[in-house]
Structure 1
């Protein structure tokens, strides 16, 4: 037999052996994974029956409610941000996530669509919104804007069973300390409001209903506005809208002031004046040369406290905002979120798009931004939290560094600045 034929036969035998070995390895790995999952489910059951029941009982949850809703519950292995025992801890992918330009948070097509739908719903729910404005002092456009942003006016329905999400995250999620109190709060909701676990639906992160309230927030701020005896933020529009307004009022919303407005910022005015720590009377800002971008007179008196907000530094529009802007941030801790809500509310009232434009932003990694923050902090600058996010403290620190280094003051990072601070 030719040597080449023998070689081919040997190669085929070797290949078959490798395939068989790989199959055995895969089968063994699958069995080990199944064993690990079964063991984890057992530990989960013990944790529910021991730790969770003891703490739930202290908060007034009856054994009947506990058993009815948790006796058959299992872990949801498909959720993100899980750290099951026995698995290697993944690398911090958030450090490597690409930072997105602030302007991408405001797609014009989405804003126009939400504003159009919102105007229709403002009319449809006019009577309920009249009552909400009288009771809570929050403008109807603001309430409806949050409703639109959080659940597309209730059209995006939650699909996850809240108890399963919260129990899974509290047992083996990255943020157990956040989710454990929320699990207990969800059980209290079931006890007090007499919902069933099947109707308590949430996002993958455990936020409930049309307003997307975490269970602890539901307990504190949800409202039974339609008088049916339940705070139903899943199927009742009056309950959902009133709960949003109550949340904002309880966090300090001041009637009659509004949230803010876009301004033109003179080049001579430093962008390092931004942020909630540097508020000053409206009259002082006007004397510095700031003017409303759309030409209308300032909406507030000269003595009203106002704050400069520049989410993209000089690479995007600038705004003067009231304390109510920071109340909106209590709903979602993001300048961009609060700005989106305020701008969408204005658009529902007939306002136009931003006068300023969002300039292109260099593609940056969150890990690079975090490294930059660490370098600035090491040089004595206050960057706020070192987290790879470009908040107001980081933006002002960048501006201060640029001034000291005799660079153009933008209060926003680019690739060259990140490289210079390595």
Structure 2
């Protein structure tokens, strides 16, 4: 009798367990389905009235979002009803030596690919440089860095990415502006809905323009009636050049020079707000590497000290064009990669003369703590974002000098401890 009773109870337990699993399994899709419904409501009740006011037709709007659902796998999303959270602890060291950014595998591929295309696209490059004044090797370096000269495929639907991020990202307003610009691209017939392929961040085509940049800078250079940054090499190169010119590229000047900086010259003199005539830097003992003199045409022009790893890496005198390159990507290392890549395309493979020291190994949260400590002492670090930009680097140097330390102008574990 006991065994007889136990069997039904066991079966009942199994049935209840299976029912729970089924319920839990149904809950996840229901949650996603709810977000889908909220997204569709947001499109119709929130985004559509603004798009309509900006001249977007219902036909364009419906075509852009036909079958589109939020992509919950994208980064930096905040689901409806949730609050954005900041990780309390960084578990991986985010900053090794900045030299890792210049891995030979990466920059060598850009240099070799650039030289190959310098030959095959010589007429186009010459025509673009004549019109815009930007050297072809700079355009090639950007093209190579951004999408491997167009080899990198754009796997995302731009309206899926931008729609998702405008609806539920940590930067809704930014992506809403970009989403409306993407709709304008289609409305104006500049690209069909099917061509609007992007990166995971919503950047379009081979130059990786955000939609607002496309509207401002994309160029029809091949004369076929539309700016095609997905398929036309002339349009891609001219659009990149037009972008740089918009941000102030100075015709006839390069991006900068690698230099040696004597110990008597403080690394805290770095930054685009501390420029001097290149002749003045030279008078302070700063010299081009390899014994080359600065070009005579540059001596009266302004240059800026750049030391992206402080005393633990190569140093440079940058021209204003370096900071134009930073408009493409706000990283010092990105702009330096483009400048160095362009030099290698033009003059052959040659690494920096200076070596990158074994610095880094810190958590981003450690650097942010260091920045907050410097701010509390009255130093301008830019922002306590965990990124060691030039304001943070030179503030470190100033604090070190004030406290009787050798100025290195780069964060390390000892500094983090000393400034706590």
Distance 1:63 1:419, change over 3 A: same
TM-score normalised by the chain length of structure 1: 0.93
Measured against aligned partners, the alpha-carbon deviations of 1:254-287 in whole angstroms (never above 9, x if no partner) come to: 0111100100010111000000110000110000
User: Cα distance, 1:319 vs. partner?
Assistant: 0.3
1:148 aligns with 2:144: yes
Is the Cα contact below 8 Å between 1:95 and 1:388 reproduced in 2? no
Cα RMSD, aligned residues only: 2.1
Which of these residues, 135, 138, 142, is aligned with residue 139 of structure 1? 135
Distance (whole Å) between structure 1 residues aligned to residue 400 and residue 341 of structure 2: 33
User: Cα distance, 1:135 vs. partner?
Assistant: 0.7
1:313 aligns with 2:310: yes
User: Cα distance, 1:73 vs. partner?
Assistant: 1.5
User: Cα distance, 1:26 vs. partner?
Assistant: 4.9
Q: Which runs of 5+ in 2 are unaligned?
A: 1-5
Distance (whole Å) between structure 2 residues aligned to residue 105 and residue 247 of structure 1: 24
User: Cα distance, 1:149 vs. partner?
Assistant: 0.3
Q: Which runs of 5+ in 1 are unaligned?
A: 1-9
Distance 1:323 1:362, change over 3 A: closer
Distance (whole Å) between structure 2 residues aligned to residue 345 and residue 245 of structure 1: 14
Distance 1:318 1:136, change over 3 A: same
Mean Cα displacement is larger for which, 140-149 or 350-359?
350-359
1:368 aligns with 2:363: no
1:63 aligns with 2:58: yes
Distance (whole Å) between structure 2 residues aligned to residue 20 and residue 400 of structure 1: 70
Is the Cα contact below 8 Å between 2:190 and 2:227 reproduced in 1? no
Is the Cα contact below 8 Å between 1:226 and 1:239 reproduced in 2? yes
Distance (whole Å) between structure 1 residues aligned to residue 16 and residue 120 of structure 2: 66
User: Cα distance, 1:64 vs. partner?
Assistant: 1.2
Distance (whole Å) between structure 1 residues aligned to residue 347 and residue 149 of structure 2: 19
Equivalent residue for 1:407?
A: 405
Distance (whole Å) between structure 2 residues aligned to residue 124 and residue 53 of structure 1: 45
- Partner of 1:263: helix, strand, or coil? strand
1:114 aligns with 2:110: yes
Mean Cα displacement is larger for which, 155-164 or 83-92?
83-92
1:334 aligns with 2:327: no
User: Cα distance, 1:70 vs. partner?
Assistant: 1.4
1:75 aligns with 2:55: no
Measured against aligned partners, the alpha-carbon deviations of 1:58-90 in whole angstroms (never above 9, x if no partner) come to: 222111111122132211122122111245644
Distance (whole Å) between structure 2 residues aligned to residue 102 and residue 23 of structure 1: 53
Mean Cα displacement is larger for which, 26-35 or 213-222?
26-35
- Partner of 2:193: helix, strand, or coil? coil
1:175 aligns with 2:179: no
- Partner of 1:294: helix, strand, or coil? helix
User: Cα distance, 1:39 vs. partner?
Assistant: 1.5
Equivalent residue for 1:3?
A: none
Distance 1:219 1:97, change over 3 A: farther
- Partner of 1:307: helix, strand, or coil? strand
User: Cα distance, 1:40 vs. partner?
Assistant: 1.4
User: Cα distance, 1:189 vs. partner?
Assistant: 0.5
1:46 aligns with 2:41: yes
Distance 1:416 1:61, change over 3 A: same
Matched residue pairs, number? 410
Mean Cα displacement is larger for which, 22-31 or 358-367?
22-31
Distance (whole Å) between structure 1 residues aligned to residue 101 and residue 398 of structure 2: 26
- Partner of 2:375: helix, strand, or coil? helix
User: Cα distance, 1:196 vs. partner?
Assistant: 2.5
Is the Cα contact below 8 Å between 1:96 and 1:366 reproduced in 2? no
Residue correspondence of structure 1 range 229-248 to structure 2 within 5 A: 229-248=225-244
Is the Cα contact below 8 Å between 2:84 and 2:170 reproduced in 1? no
1:257 aligns with 2:253: yes
Which of these residues, 319, 324, 328, is aligned with residue 321 of structure 2? 324
Distance 1:86 1:32, change over 3 A: farther
Distance 1:23 1:331, change over 3 A: farther
- Partner of 1:308: helix, strand, or coil? strand
Equivalent residue for 1:198?
A: 194
Distance (whole Å) between structure 2 residues aligned to residue 360 and residue 23 of structure 1: 56
Is the Cα contact below 8 Å between 1:193 and 1:231 reproduced in 2? no
Distance 1:164 1:406, change over 3 A: same
Is the Cα contact below 8 Å between 1:397 and 1:411 reproduced in 2? yes
Distance (whole Å) between structure 1 residues aligned to residue 209 and residue 136 of structure 2: 19
Distance (whole Å) between structure 1 residues aligned to residue 161 and residue 80 of structure 2: 18
Distance (whole Å) between structure 2 residues aligned to residue 355 and residue 39 of structure 1: 58
